[in-house]
Structure 1
Amino acid sequence: MTSRGFEKALKNGLFCKKTQTNALNLLLVSTALTCSTAAVAQENNLLDEVVVTASASEVTYKNAPASISVITAEELENQGAKDVRSLLESVEGLTFNRAGNQSKVQIRGLNENYTLFLIDGKRVTSAPNAFRGNDYDSGWVPLEAVERIEIVRGPMSSLYGSDAIGGVVNIITKKETEEWHGSLTTEYTLQENRKSGDYGRTGFNVSGPLLKDKLFMRTYGSWDFRRQDSGSLNPDSPSGGANAGFAKSDNKYIDTTVTWDVNEENSLDFNAGYSKRTHDKTTLDRFSGGITHHGSYEFGETELRAFGDRIENSYGHGNTSGKNEPNTAYNFTGDGKVSFDADFVVPQFITIGATYQHQSLEDKHVLTGEGGSYNSIWQASAFLEDRFEISDSFEVTLGGRLDRHERFGWNASPRVYGVYHLTDALTFKGGWSSSFKAPTLLQLSPGWQQISCGGNCYLVGAEDLNPEVGSSFEAGFKYDEAKWSAGITGFHNTIKDMIPFPPARTPDAVAAKNFSNYVGETPDGKPIFKFQNIEEARTMGVEASLTVRPIDKLTVFANYTYLDAKNISADNAPLAFQPKHSANIKLDYAFSEKLSFALSANYVGEQYTWIPADGNTTFASKVDGYITADFSGRYDVSENFTLRAGVMNIADNQILKEDGDAFNVDGRRYFISGTTRF
């Protein structure tokens, strides 16, 4: 974080009483952190870091009213990651739905439909363009542009509304600098098994002033790719069909932000970007833009912004004719908030805000009802968050959001959370949240008719769907000292009126008539099924973490997640792609100021990859648990050039896809990376 950015963080974010004592405390914190940034980063001590995702305003990590994980800039630089998803794999509470060899992020047993992705606090979604689920939204920002990633585990509907019922991943990009600086990174990964596709990336980030102390610019760009796996890599399925490996991918990005510091109280950010991501046959072109106003006044802080994007899918939703059936989605959001101190009985920090969202889709191939090839939906909301400083060691956050949805009227999402510091080292946290998720634009479109069952049945939207409603409770503690830290959190989530994806369906025209969501058949006799609210799910578990620094040069990180994810409506059947056990361990050793090494291992437990609609696991598909381990090293050749290299999946524990519901895990591979800074 630059000194300019850090001063803004302190000025705008820390919860404090406007007294001479706290002003002095902030000055001391600022001085201490400025002088010891390197030491803090080396110890991975995040307690005094400012985070922005867990609360309506900036707050220190230690006081964040949620279970939050942060992947820092230092971790980004030291890992041999190829994209954001590979960084998230080591975070407790996160699992991945790998159907179709995608990597779709799931939080606490809830699939990707319940995870909200943000870029600098602005939501992104390409769900209307690729309704079958996709892994595009976790990758709209290349690694070169990422300052840090904040992951909130647990529902955040009180702040972010629909889609945050499982949790939030906020990708925070690097900010402008007061002097011109930049970096260029090139990386290549070579597969030992030459049937597997190599991959690599090249990217840059440049930032500096256009007009001293007034106008600043930051631009980043990147290209990353993966070559397609050989068609002979995987064995054929028992039915005789070929199992595809990882498909070809080709992703390009360019983005520019101009910041104008109008005066001491006001600043404006202007942003525009373009991304083109191609995975297999599907290419999404995303054009984005927005403007943000930041205000810092005597009474408090304000933020007002408008942003949106246009996403074009040149392939479309998929069909059996082999022809492209393109579509275009438009997303717009306007929001604003004001934060200020108050002193009613106890010191408080209050944030009041409002949001308006509009989403539309143009698709002449699957939107065929009376509304033609266009459909849209809007949602407006107001939210309030109040952080009470009950005492120097105890804070309570009360929050609530009131949403007005075009189809469903009013929905309320209250939240209460407490943070208690028993000592400087020991912190207890816990709270309860409610949440809701509105059906997607396509699920609500009665004129939507999408092919499925391998071309032998159809899916349609339904206007009689209800929002999915969730409730979540969590409690835990964190102990942190200079030499070691540990934490454990237990959680319990329930979701009612779940909309299963995909809905129950069959290509058998006779059996289809017994399905509760059967609505008829096409002129050529193919059955048609609609989406419906039928399920209730419950997920519960424990997340534990441990960090030990036995010597100054060595740090050991470890975490473990126990997850019990069940479909209550299907006789307590387990949910697919939800391993009961997962664990990570990593050792970082700084051999010298210039040379460091990292050794990490990841365990993913046994998991089901497909379960029948009735929950009978006798005929379900599953994969065994597996372990992968990586080794990497970093050497600072000079002040301006860093070389990294390593071996991924050292033991070559490669997993080959044996049926359509399984997935691949790459075997042993070698990477080398160089970063030049100027």
Structure 2
Amino acid sequence: MSSRDVDRALKNARFTQKTQMNALNLLLVSTALTCASAASAQENKLLDEVVVTASASEVTYKNAPASISVITADDLENQGARDVRSLLESVEGLTFNRAGNQSKVQIRGLNENYTLFLIDGKRVTSAPNAFRGNDYDSGWVPLEAVERIEIVRGPMSSLYGSDAIGGVVNIITKKETEEWHGSLTNEYTLQENRKSGDYGRTGFNLSGPILKDKLFMRTYGSWDFRRKDSSTLNPDSASGRANAGFAKSDNKHVDTTVTWDVNQENSVDFNAGYSKRTHDKTTLDRYSAGITHHGSYEFGETELRVFGDRIDNSYGHGNAAGDDMPNTAYNFNGDGKVSFDADLLVPNFITVGATYQHQSLEDKYVLVGEGGSDSSLWQAAAFIEDRLEITEDFEVTLGGRLDKHEKFGWNASPRVYGVYHLTQALTFKGGWSSSFKAPTLLQMSPNWKQVSCGGDCFLEGAEDLNPELGSSFEVGFKYDEAKWSAGLTGFHNTIKDMIQFPPARTADVAVAQTYSNYVGLTADGKPIFKFENIEEARTMGIEANLTLRPTDELTVSANYTYLDAKNTSANDAPLAFQPEHTANVKLDYNFSEKLSFALSANYVGEQYTSVPANGDMAFARKVDGYITADFTGRYDVNENFTLRAGVLNIADNQILKTDWDEFNVDGRRYFISGTTRF
């Protein structure tokens, strides 16, 4: 039995009356998985894993209508990762904008503003209240609370809206348990170069019943920190224009969910959380709350969510007057969907839904410390997705979304995707979609200005920005056997009126006046730049991956991404922070059930760190490529305690930035971590 049979079992189980679901669903899904394993030892167990991000409903990994990667629970336990962001570095198609020693996730050559972060399917993007992109969005959940991470590469705008033009990262947290269980992790990383700051973290996860069979609770939290690098770390750093190393960071997070199983058909989740993230002189306080209703009925399944957050954002070296430049953003979201199956010539699995978003910003200061302005935007949408099983081997997914934006009116985003199983092992995938993305509140607000260039220039919004319109296409294949698997995908994205992010900028006053987005000077002579549209940009490339399983104990995996990202309206000038070549190689070896090791290497090719929107390469800046390698180990001392340790950047290939738009790479360092379970 193949993963297609697992999909059918899921469908059958999904639409059986809930009074029969507990026993019947378990029987159907367990039987499908057992038969699949017995019938063919040639399939990787990941193929039958159910994923939830690539479609409006659950679907097996192999049949997912998108290019998707999954970081499993085993990956989370075995890797020496500090946070979610470090786990993503080994995924093909992903690059990072590291300007100013941030680390913002980009997918397929599209900047961080095109990557949507979700936590259990709920959007958490903080971009509407910060120029700094998604640098914070990957840090809201500690590793102790993560069950797995699903990464969809390629546009998902028809399902998730405008933030998902590049792709989606869905952080799926651990669920409530029927008995009380918990874990506590402590980790510390020691830098060999004592001028670099050490870092560490503490995290916990606790789950159990409040009222047997009715009320359950899960809570998790973390504290992580990094000490500031010494100011003498890099004597070649441009004086007054670039911090020599990483700034101090201090982050705290706590989140609680209470689940009420009302009856066999209905359950309700109540969630609330608080985070405080401090990087250098920037502090974000996030307060979040939400309610989710899940329904399973004879006709199908429903989900209704209402959630929102408040983010207080303070910049300690904010404006030209030296004020903290605080602002507060409010995000409200409501969405609902219903899923059901229908036989319309061929089997159909249909999901219809609607969403509503309202964003507002309270801004107290502008550039010179005077009274600022408040602004708000709303956007509503309706969407539909239909998975059609044309034959047992061929499935087509059709999707469409109709957005109504307060400023830019109506916009449609259609999508079509096909999955064809030529054989049990060989699968072909491909699809096309269009997308719409409106400028954020801050990008459109000339009254809100942000410090940049290490404090020597400023950025501001622009009222005349146009929305971005995208078109994307991909095609590829995946081959899976017991001993090896491989995949190859080609993609092509076109974005009209792309908003350059971050805007081109420089602290050099003479050079600044040659930039097309130059606005003027502050009272103390610092350049001001605004956001602007690039007439057209194009990214295209190839993603390749290979996994070898020569023995039950050994797994070797590798991936490579070729990326060609250009501003086609400016003589094919390259887009910033988009390396042409990236590659990852990893070797995992399990000596026993208790002891395992991993050796990994990562290559990032040369990349431009700043390119003017007009494509004038005389003012472009570029950094060389680099390689890092890590060695990590894991030992289960007993059922209740796990010890992890390792050496990161074994070759001590440390990179030190020399200007504000460059970045550092830590040298050799050693980490140790202990997890206690109870």
TM-score, structure 2 length as denominator?
A: 0.92
- How much does 1:573 deviate? 1.0
Q: Secondary structure at the match of 1:159?
A: helix
- Structure 1 residue 86 and structure 2 residue 86: aligned? yes
Matched, 1:487 2:487: yes
Q: 1:9 to 1:95 in 2, by over 3 A?
A: farther
Residue identity matched to 1:417: Y
Amino acid at match of 1:624: D
Match of 2:409 in 1: 409
- Structure 1 unaligned runs (5+)? 1-6
After TM superposition, the structure 1 stretch with the greater mean CA deviation from structure 2, 123-132 or 303-312, is: 123-132
Quote the residue 1:392 is aligned against: 392
Task: Give the equivalent residue in structure 2 for 1:535.
Answer: 535
Counterpart mapping for 1:453-464 below 5 A: 459-464=459-464
Q: C-alpha displacement at 1:237, in angstroms?
A: 3.5
Q: Structure 1 stretch 44-53 or stretch 326-335: which is displaced more?
A: 44-53
Residue 341, structure 1, aligned to residue 310, structure 2: no
Task: Supply the AA of the counterpart residue of 1:643.
Answer: L
Unaligned runs of 5+ in 2: 1-5, 18-22
- Measured after TM superposition, the shift of residue 651 of structure 1 is 1.0
Q: Which position in structure 2 is the counterpart of 1:204?
A: 204
- 8 Å Cα contact 2:504/2:611 also seen in 1: no
Q: Using the TM superposition, give the Cα deviation of residue 578 of structure 1 relative to its aligned residue in structure 2, in angstroms.
A: 1.1
Match of 1:4 in 2: none
Counterpart CA distance in 1 for 2:187 and 2:71 is 20
> Is 1:595 matched with 2:588?
no
Aligned to 1:662: 662
Cα distance change on mapping 1:637 and 1:164 into 2, 3 Å: same
Name the counterpart of 2:330. 330
Instruction: Give the superposed CA RMSD.
Output: 3.1
Identify if the C-alpha distance between structure 1 residues 13 and 277 changes in structure 2 by more than 3 Å, giving closer, same or farther.
Answer: farther
Moved more, 362-371 or 238-247: 362-371
Question: How much does 1:589 deviate?
Answer: 0.7
Which residue matches 1:676?
676
1:218 and 2:198 are equivalent in the alignment? no
- Inter-partner Cα distance in structure 2 for 1:217 and 1:36: 34
- Which residue does the alignment assign to 2:553? 553
> Are the structure 2 counterparts of residues 450 and 665 from structure 1 closer, same or farther at C-alpha, using a change threshold of 3 Å?
closer
Greater shift, 512-521 or 326-335, is seen at 512-521
SS in 1 for 2:163: coil
Alignment partners' CA distance in 2, 1:124 and 1:386? 26
Alignment of 1:633-644 (within 5 A): 633-644=633-644
Alignment of 1:148-163 (within 5 A): 148-163=148-163
Distance 1:485 1:70 in 2: 15
Higher mean alpha-carbon deviation, 309-318 vs 189-198, is at 309-318
Contact in 2 for aligned 1:308/1:330 (Cα 8 Å): yes
- Aligned residues of 1:432 and 1:474 also touching (Cα < 8 A): yes
CA contact (8 A) 1:610 1:621 kept: yes
Which secondary structure state, in structure 1, belongs to the residue aligned with residue 285 of structure 2? strand
Are residue 298 (structure 1) and residue 285 (structure 2) matched?
Answer: no
Distance 2:527 2:645 in 1: 54
Alignment partners' CA distance in 2, 1:134 and 1:317: 21
Contact in 2 for aligned 1:128/1:442 (Cα 8 Å): yes
Give the 3-state SS of the residue equivalent to 1:385 in structure 2. strand
Distance 1:211 1:238 in 2: 61
Counterpart of 1:195 in structure 2: which amino acid? Answer: K
Aligned partners of 1:236 and 1:659 also within 8 Å: no
Tell me how far apart the structure 2 counterparts of residues 160 and 299 of structure 1 sit (CA, whole Å).
24
Partners in 1 of 2:371 and 2:143 — Cα distance? Answer: 41
- 1:246 has 2:246 as partner: yes
Counting aligned pairs with the same residue, the percent is 84
Which SS does the other structure have where 2:315 is aligned?
coil
Q: Does 1:181 align with 2:181?
A: yes
1:3 maps to none
Q: Which amino acid aligns with 1:471?
A: S
Is contact 2:284-2:312 (8 Å) kept?
A: yes
CA gap 1:340/1:448 in 2 versus in 1, 3 angstroms: same
How far residue 610 of structure 1 moved from its aligned partner, in angstroms, is 1.9
The reply on whether 1:467 has 2:493 as its aligned counterpart is no
User: Structure 1 residues 307, 516: closer, same or farther in 2, change over 3 A?
Assistant: same
For each residue in 1:522-551, what CA deviation from the matched residue of structure 2 results, as whole angstroms up to 9, or x when unmatched?
Answer: 788877654332331111100011111101
Report the equivalent of 2:567.
Answer: 567
Question: Is 2:120 the partner of 1:120?
Answer: yes
**Residue 491 to residue 557, structure 1, CA distance change in 2 (3 Å):** same
- In structure 2, the CA distance between the partners of 1:601 and 1:392, relative to structure 1 (3 Å rule), is same
Structure 1 427/169 Cα, relative in aligned 2: closer, same or farther at 3 Å? Answer: same
Deviations 1:485-519 (A, max 9, x none): 10000000010011223445677889878866566
Q: Call closer, same or farther: CA 1:164–1:476 in 2, change over 3 Å.
A: same
- How much does 1:618 deviate? 4.2
What's the offset of the Cα at 1:131? 1.4
Please tell me whether the aligned partners of residues 116 and 167 of structure 2 are also in contact (alpha carbons under 8 angstroms): yes
Cα shift readout 1:113-166 (whole Å, capped 9, x = no counterpart): 111111111111222432143511111111111111111101111001111111
Judge conservation of contact 2:355–2:382 (CA < 8 Å) in 1: yes
Q: CA deviation at 1:579?
A: 1.1
Contact 2:195–2:232 (CA under 8 A) maintained in structure 1: yes
**Distance in structure 2 (CA, Å) of the matches to 1:221 and 1:190:** 23
Query: Hey, what's the Cα distance between the residues in 2 that align with 1:648 and 1:226?
Result: 16
User: How far apart in 2 are the matches of 1:279 and 1:41?
Assistant: 49
Would the alpha carbon gap of residues 232 and 510 (structure 1) be closer, same or farther in structure 2, given more than 3 Å must change?
closer
Q: Are the equivalent residues in 2 in contact too, given 1:13–1:58 (CA < 8 A)? A: no
Q: CA deviation at 1:181?
A: 0.9
After superposition, the Cα gap between the structure-2 partners of 1:591 and 1:372, relative to the gap in structure 1 and judged at 3 Å, is closer
Secondary structure of 2:47 counterpart? coil
CA distance in 2, matches of 1:528, 1:232: 30
Q: Report the Cα offset of residue 100 of structure 1.
A: 0.2
Q: Report SS of the residue matched to 1:323.
A: coil
Compared CA separation, residues 28 and 314, structure 1 to 2 (3 A): same
Which residue of structure 2 lines up, in the alignment, with residue 445 of structure 1? 445
What SS does the corresponding residue of 2:325 show, helix, strand or coil? coil
Cα distance between partner residues in 2 of 1:16 and 1:421: 25
- Please say which of residues 106-115 and 461-470 is displaced more in the overlay: 461-470
Q: Which amino acid aligns with 1:261?
A: D
- The residue aligned with 1:583 is 583
Q: Return the offset for 1:658.
A: 2.2
2-structure distance, mates of 1:221, 1:507: 40
The structure-2 alpha-carbon separation of the partners of 1:376 and 1:197, relative to structure 1 and needing over 3 Å to count, comes to same
Cα separation, partners in 2 of 1:314 and 1:185, compared to 1, 3 Å: same
CA offset at residue 655 of structure 1?
1.0
Question: What displacement does 1:654 show?
Answer: 1.0
Task: Verify the 8 A CA contact 1:369 1:448 in the aligned structure 2.
Answer: no
Deviation string 1:216-268 (CA, Å, 9 cap, x unpaired) is 10010111111111111113346775542011111111110000111111000
Q: Which amino acid aligns with 2:272?
A: A
Q: Quickly say closer, same or farther: Cα 1:559–1:506, change in 2 above 3 A.
A: closer
The letter for the 2-side match of 1:360 is S
Distance in 2, Cα, partners of 1:483 & 1:221: 39
**By how many angstroms is 1:575 displaced?**
1.2
Moved more, 150-159 or 27-36: 27-36
Letter of the structure 2 residue corresponding to residue 480 of structure 1: D
> Residue by residue, what CA displacement relative to the aligned partner does 1:77-134 show, whole Å, maximum 9, x if unpaired?
1111001110000000000010000100000001101111111111112224321435
Partners of 2:290 and 2:307 within 8 A in 1: yes
Compared CA separation, residues 393 and 12, structure 1 to 2 (3 A): closer
Does structure 2 retain, via aligned residues, the 8 Å contact 1:177–1:207? yes
> Could you tell me which residue of structure 1 aligns to residue 3 of structure 2?
none
